[in-house]
Amino acid sequence: GKVLRSAYAPPPYTIEHVDLDFILTEAEAVVYSTLRVKSNHAAGGPLYLDGEDLELRSISLDGVPLQEGTGYTRGEEGLTVLSPPAKPLPFELKIVVATKPQDNTQLSGLYKTSGNYCTQCEAVGFRRITYFLDRPDVMSTYKVRVEADKKLYPILLSNGNEVGRGDLPAGRHWAAFEDPFKKPCYLFALVAAKLEGIESEFTTCSGRKVRLYIWSESENKDQLDWAMQSLKDSMAWDERKYGREYDLDVFHIVAVNDFNMGAMENKGLNVFNTACVLAKQSTATDDDYERVQGVVAHEYFHNWTGNRVTCRDWFQLTLKEGLTVYRDQTFSADMTSPAVQRIENVRVMRSHQFVEDSGPMAHPIRPESYLAIDNFYTLTVYEKGAEVIRMYHTLLGEEGFRKGTDLYFDRHDGCAVTCDDFRAAMADANGRDLTQFERWYTQAGTPTVKAAGAYDGATKTYTLTLSQSTPPTPGQPTKLPLHIPVRIKLLDRKGGALLPERILELTEASQTFVFNSIASEPVLSLLRGFSAPVKLDFPLSDETLAFLAAHDDDPFNRWDASQQLGKRVLLALVAEWQVADRQSRQQLELPDAFVATFKATLAASLDASLKAYSLALPDYSVLAQDMSPIDPDALIAVLRFARRSLGQRMRKELLAMYESLTSPNEKFSVAPSEVGRRRLRNVCLDFLAAGGDEQSLQMCRKHFHAATTMTDRLAAFKALAPFPSEALDEVQSIFYERAKANNEALVINKWFAVQASTYSTDALEKVKALTKHEAFDGTNPNRVRSVINTFAALNPAAFHDLSGSGYEYIGTQVLDLDKRNPQVASRLCNNFRDWKKYNQKRQALMKAQLVRIRDCKTVSKDVFEIASRSLEG
């Protein structure tokens, strides 16, 4: 049933130590566990252990076998030891269970991937391995022994340090591991596999040598170096920035093909989706390189923020995830470019988190209830959670923030704690009252900050009134004012400062700030760097926006102004398109002023990545948020039109820029300057190709053939994709054949995704055909996502086709997937979540699918929760 945050109670028993022995054979996995259990009360009482899909072979207490009915009882979700000894001393439970990892299609617990064994326990997968108190506030030391066939599974790994290894009869072998750090069971991991790896070493600040390994299937061995570099950079950065040193003698990363999420921070043994660890020039784009660096860092940083200090219960998830995302974001900023990184992070917030926050699944970063905790690994918990951590930094400053984290680690090392504990550490270390700040943890929804400024030339004062409000969200009709840091600066007409940058603390519903000695009428640069996860209501003229887009010295705000201008123009065109007939739709025109701003941006002397992001039009999801009801056809048509039109009207300039960014004998590097060069060049290519004329198609084809990187090859393929042509056929088939010949699964995913996201009148038929393709595999989450989720999420005109065929198809896929993998199915189900934002006809069609899903007798609780909340919200 439903779990409530308010119902938290400490565990009645703790498990001090765990001994696990895994006997892996092709038929089954048998797990022998010995638990040293201690009562937390003198009284004792029944001991409930979680367990799911387990075959119980035996259970004994202090050496005495327990009988079902008298010694223990069993249900669907666990087992109760009826009367454990009521004494303060620990007692010993021995439990033997068997599972079938080869049939575990949920990819939670112990499962097989490409013939190898691996585990995924967060959040509640350990109960699928053995009976246990599967909750993060039960922390234990672990000793693990694994035994398996030596030929099939030469590599045996678990958390901590290896303490023994040997051969056994019949071609089998074993290894044993000890993890000296207490940990909750969600951080347990085991791998038994045929893998190859690379090895390196890191010397910590105190001079300890740590051996580093990255493992994958042999064909990927040449794609591991970047992850290794990223790992070492992360280790050094965490020492420098947070004073956090690694604590074991060894650190492993294992890459697996089948994985529900991105990666997992198991103590000393991180397990990764291949998509977040493999990278080489010919298979990974620059964005992939960035993601690998970020995720490797993220999982490594969890060693302190998540593992050494963990969560008391799953409602506190943002305690480790928000903080760790904030840490990986700032790491990436230090490794690449702070401005580019900030823009990329805010794009995710605005395009995706804001949408989540305005729909039926809206929840605070610390949710109040759940049915399936896996449904709450959300953009809100992760990304908005990171923005909340960033606000502490903004309010307290670099030094104050560090004082806060130092105190947090001092106080809570080895403990399972709460978001309140983190806030208290920040407050206490700085002598600040952060009581009101708690509302960021309790209130859902995106606040709006409204600004009104007035300049009085006679008194040389500038008066700024800021007011805030947060819309109602499901279950939260009214909201209280939040503590919002608003970073501002007053600019003169040349972009100079009339008032240096400062942080205003907005804590009331409305507040007025007065600035004296302002020499002339200023332009307000507001919410610099996106200093809080809010929407702004601050209407500016086109001229002021163009001025800010050119002159604001905050690179984030400069980009933001360009996007606001773009949004304004595009939404006006959408409105025109909607009322126009077929004929007059041909006559839509982009305003000259907008083309002029675009031209100015293209010509500006600006970092290439920043330029590329400023030139890019606001994306579909950002535009859709300002539309009610959302009209996918109009949005897609106008976005296409605008890109084509800019490509045609700016042809000369775009071509010149494209040429100037082409250097014949370039050496591959992911230095920010090179990434920027490729990014900007591919933005130019994309605009140029948007007309679909023969000349552009040939240009893309040439680009593809000349490419030495996946970044460029994929850009050419994407630019060609909407235009059926010989060039497209050629590129599409070479792209596939090459990936197939080289056995590059991640490249094949890209090949699928480009096709699944391309609109055409028969897009759905094409997607159905893709699922029949020789390379399609409905059991591999990455492959399923690249075709089916991509269609639902990134091909809006086809998914929302008025016939309802797209909805019907995705509804069927949700139910079909749910039988194998509820976590992946429930993500797919989210595509129906915002049904109320569409017109009546679409609402009815989407609602019908949600009802069908919710009422399916065999639906999982994961999918049920998404479907039913979507219907209620």
Count of positions on this chain that bind Zn ion (CB under 5 A) = 2
Max Cα distance, the chain (Å): 95
Applying CB under 6 A, among 264, 319, 506, 561 the residue interacting with ligand ARG is 264
157 binds, among ligand ARG, Zn ion, none (CB under 5 to 8 A by kind): none
Q: Taking the complex as a whole, how short is the minimal distance between the CB of residue 381 and ligand ARG, in angstroms?
A: 9
Q: Taking the complex as a whole, how short is the minimal distance between the CB of residue 514 and ligand ARG, in angstroms?
A: 44
Tokens representing residue 538 in the block: 């601050």
Q: Taking the complex as a whole, how short is the minimal distance between the CB of residue 306 and ligand ARG, in angstroms?
A: 7
Q: Which of 136, 138, 47 is nearest to 95 (CA)?
A: 47
Taking the least distance from each CB to ligand ARG, the nearer of 105 and 436 is 105
- Give the helix/strand (H/E) hosting 726: helix 726-741
Determine the residue with CB nearest ligand ARG: 377
Taking the least distance from each CB to ligand ARG, the nearer of 375 and 795 is 375
Q: How far is CA 409 from the centre of its chain?
A: 25
- Using the rule CB under 6 A, is 321 a contact of ligand ARG? yes
Question: Is 52 in the active site?
Answer: no
Which residues partner with 132 through β-bridges? 50
Cα–Cα dist 590/390, whole Å = 38
374 binds, among ligand ARG, Zn ion, none (CB under 5 to 8 A by kind): ligand ARG
Applying CB under 6 A, among 179, 374, 744, 862 the residue interacting with ligand ARG is 374
Cα–Cα dist 451/400, whole Å = 28
Cβ neighbours around 390 below 10 Å, total: 24
Which residues partner with 211 through β-bridges? 201, 250
- 710, 739 in Cβ contact below 8 A? no
- The b-or-e profile of 739-750 (16+ CB within 10 A means b, else e) is beeeebbbbbbb
263 binds, among ligand ARG, Zn ion, none (CB under 5 to 8 A by kind): ligand ARG
- Using the rule CB under 6 A, is 263 a contact of ligand ARG? yes
- x/- binding map, residues 804-823, to ligand ARG, per CB under 6 A? -------------------x
Taking the least distance from each CB to Zn ion, the nearer of 306 and 453 is 306
Per DSSP, the three-state class of 172 is strand
Applying CB under 6 A, among 299, 383, 552, 862 the residue interacting with ligand ARG is 299
Taking the least distance from each CB to Zn ion, the nearer of 251 and 835 is 251
Taking the least distance from each CB to Zn ion, the nearer of 324 and 405 is 324
Taking the least distance from each CB to ligand ARG, the nearer of 298 and 713 is 298
Q: Which of 61, 57, 129, 125 is nearest to 90 (CA)?
A: 61
Sheet holding 116-120, edge to edge: 109-113, 116-120, 190-193, 155-158
- 631, 571 in Cβ contact below 8 A? no
Please report where in the chains the tokens 């009284």 appear, as a residue: 43
> How far is residue 191 from each of residues 188, 222, 252, 395, measured CA to CA in Å?
11, 21, 11, 43
Q: Taking the complex as a whole, how short is the minimal distance between the CB of residue 29 and ligand ARG, in angstroms?
A: 20
Taking the least distance from each CB to Zn ion, the nearer of 412 and 651 is 412
- Using the rule CB under 6 A, is 348 a contact of ligand ARG? no
- Using the rule CB under 6 A, is 202 a contact of ligand ARG? no
DSSP secondary structure code for residue 481 in this structure? P
Using CB under 5 A as the binding rule, the residues of this chain from 308 to 337 that contact Zn ion are 321, 324
Q: Which of the following is catalytic: 290, 299, 321, 865? A: 299
Taking the least distance from each CB to Zn ion, the nearer of 321 and 374 is 321
- x/- binding map, residues 92-131, to ligand ARG, per CB under 6 A? ------------------------------xx--------
Which residues partner with 184 through β-bridges? 139
- Using the rule CB under 6 A, is 328 a contact of ligand ARG? no
Q: Taking the complex as a whole, how short is the minimal distance between the CB of residue 276 and ligand ARG, in angstroms?
A: 9
Using CB under 5 A as the binding rule, the residues of this chain from 820 to 849 that contact Zn ion are none
Region from 109-117, 201-209, 262-270, 393-401 binding ligand ARG, contact rule CB under 6 A:
262-270
Residue type, 289: Y
One-letter-per-residue 3-state SS of 56-75: EEEEEECCEECCECCCEEEC
DSSP β-ladder status, 196-203 and 209-216 = antiparallel
Radius of gyration of the chain (CA): 28
Applying CB under 6 A, among 96, 205, 250, 261 the residue interacting with ligand ARG is 261
Q: Taking the complex as a whole, how short is the minimal distance between the CB of residue 812 and ligand ARG, in angstroms?
A: 24
Cα–Cα dist 382/352, whole Å = 12
DSSP β-ladder status, 523-525 and 484-491 = antiparallel
Applying CB under 6 A, among 377, 556, 594, 736 the residue interacting with ligand ARG is 377
Using CB under 6 A as the binding rule, the residues of this chain from 404 to 443 that contact ligand ARG are none
Those residues with Cβ within 8 angstroms of residue 831's Cβ, 6 or more apart along the chain or in another chain: 789, 792, 793, 799, 810
Region from 258-266, 437-445, 451-459, 775-783 binding ligand ARG, contact rule CB under 6 A:
258-266
Residues that bind ligand ARG (CB under 6 A): 122-123, 260-261, 263-265, 298-299, 321, 374, 377, 823
**Which sequence positions are flagged as catalytic?**
299
Residues that bind Zn ion (CB under 5 A): 321, 324
